Every structure is written in C-alpha cells, then in structure tokens.
C-alpha cells in the first residue's frame, strides 16, 4: 500500500488536496489518505464486480419470489455503502502500520530472509488464516443471540 499511497500523493493529494504545510510523513495525512484510497478502491471493486455479477450471474427470476423484498437490491446497495467506511477502519490501520514501516513486506525475494520458501509459506498461511477468520466471524454473526439483536437494531435504524 505504500507504493499506492506514494502514487496518490504525487499525482493527486500533494498538488490538489492537502496544503503545502502538511508533509507527506504526517500521520494524520497518511491515515486520511489511506482511508480515502481504501474506500474509493473498495467502492470501485464493489460496483464493478457487483454489477457484473448482477447482470451476468444473478438469477433475475428470484426477484419474483414472494419473500424477495420490494427494493431489496437498492436496500442492499445502500447498506453496503453505509457499512463500507466502518469495515475499512481495521484495514486502514493495517495499511498505516505498513506505511510506517511496521511490516515484513519485501520489495523483492532477495530481501526476504527465507527466500522463495518463506514467501510461499507466508502466502499460504495468510490465506488459511484469513479464510478461517472469515468463516468463524460469519458463523458468529449467524448465532441466534447475536442475529436476533442485529435484526432488532437494524429494523429500527432502517424503517
């Protein structure tokens, strides 16, 4: 993400967004920039792949089902748009740590102390960890106590 932030700073943020008094190493500026870049990227990915999926994969006959809510697609898009900034906060924190130098990311394989083996092992372990974390989080979200509380809260917030 540090490379993306450098490009965004060079071409957009420094000349057009931030005052000259804010240095590119300013923590607040980096956090805000990462938040913007992350959310704009997430929105682009969401609408690109969501739109492609809606038009080419989604079975539109399901919209005639009696349990399909009126304006359900619009509601789901609205809920996703409202959730995205909050969901991105942990990601921005990780990106910020990486930009500030608190990571084990290497620009080339020769910089890695374990070579190709370490890089491949770290990729496999990362995918395994994130997949398992997503599975357990999703499972927790469908627990009957948590699910009932969320349904009550969201039904009051979105009439």
Q: How many CA atoms lie within 13 A of 155 on its CB side?
A: 6
User: Do residues 5 and 21 share a domain?
Assistant: yes
Total number of domains in the chain:
2
User: Do residues 73 and 129 share a domain?
Assistant: no
User: Do residues 20 and 84 share a domain?
Assistant: yes
C-beta separation of 22 from 37 below 8 A? no
User: Do residues 77 and 20 share a domain?
Assistant: yes
Q: pLDDT for 21-79, tens place per residue? A: 888 888 999 999 999 999 999 999 999 999 999 999 998 888 888 888 888 889 899 99
User: Do residues 87 and 118 share a domain?
Assistant: no
User: Do residues 31 and 83 share a domain?
Assistant: yes
Local structure of 158: helix, strand or coil:
coil
User: Do residues 66 and 125 share a domain?
Assistant: no
**Per-residue pLDDT band at 101 (split at 50, 70, 90):** confident
Which of these three, 85, 103, 121, is where a domain ends? 103
Residue 84, number of CB atoms within 10 A of its CB: 14
User: Do residues 57 and 118 share a domain?
Assistant: no
What's the whole-number mean pLDDT along residues 124-152?
A: 83
CA distance 129 to 111: 24
User: Do residues 56 and 129 share a domain?
Assistant: no
pLDDT of residue 81: 92
User: Do residues 46 and 114 share a domain?
Assistant: no
| pTM of the entire predicted model | 0.71
Q: pLDDT for 11-27, tens place per residue? A: 999 888 888 888 888 89
CA distance 9 to 64: 48
Q: Which residues of 99-137 are buried (b: 16+ CB within 10 A; e: fewer)?
A: beeeeeeeeeeeebeeeeeeeeeeeeeeeeeeeeeeeee
User: Do residues 9 and 76 share a domain?
Assistant: yes
Residue 37, number of CB atoms within 10 A of its CB: 21
Which of these three, 79, 103, 127, is where a domain ends? 103
User: Which residue range is the domain that position 59 belongs to?
Assistant: 1-103
* 8-state DSSP, 70: T
User: Do residues 26 and 13 share a domain?
Assistant: yes
What integer best gives the mean pLDDT of the chain? 87
Q: How far apart are the first and last CA of the chain?
A: 39
Which of these three, 103, 122, 147, is where a domain ends? 103
């Amino acid at each position: 993400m540090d490379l993306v932030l450098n490009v965004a700073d060079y071409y957009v943020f420094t000349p057009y967004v931030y005052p000259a008094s804010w240095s590119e190493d300013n923590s607040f500026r980096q956090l805000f920039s990462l938040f913007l870049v992350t959310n704009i990227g997430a929105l682009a990915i969401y609408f690109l792949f969501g739109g492609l999926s809606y038009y080419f994969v989604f079975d539109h006959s399901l919209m005639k089902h009696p349990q399909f809510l009126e304006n359900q697609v619009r509601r789901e898009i609205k809920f996703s748009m409202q959730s995205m900034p909050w969901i991105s906060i942990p990601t921005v924190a990780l990106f910020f740590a990486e930009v500030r130098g608190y990571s084990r990311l290497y620009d080339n394989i020769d910089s890695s102390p374990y070579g190709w083996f370490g890089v491949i092992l770290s990729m496999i372990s990362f995918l395994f960890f994130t997949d398992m974390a997503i599975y357990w989080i999703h499972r927790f979200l469908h627990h009957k106590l948590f699910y009932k509380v969320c349904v009550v809260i969201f039904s009051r917030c979105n009439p």
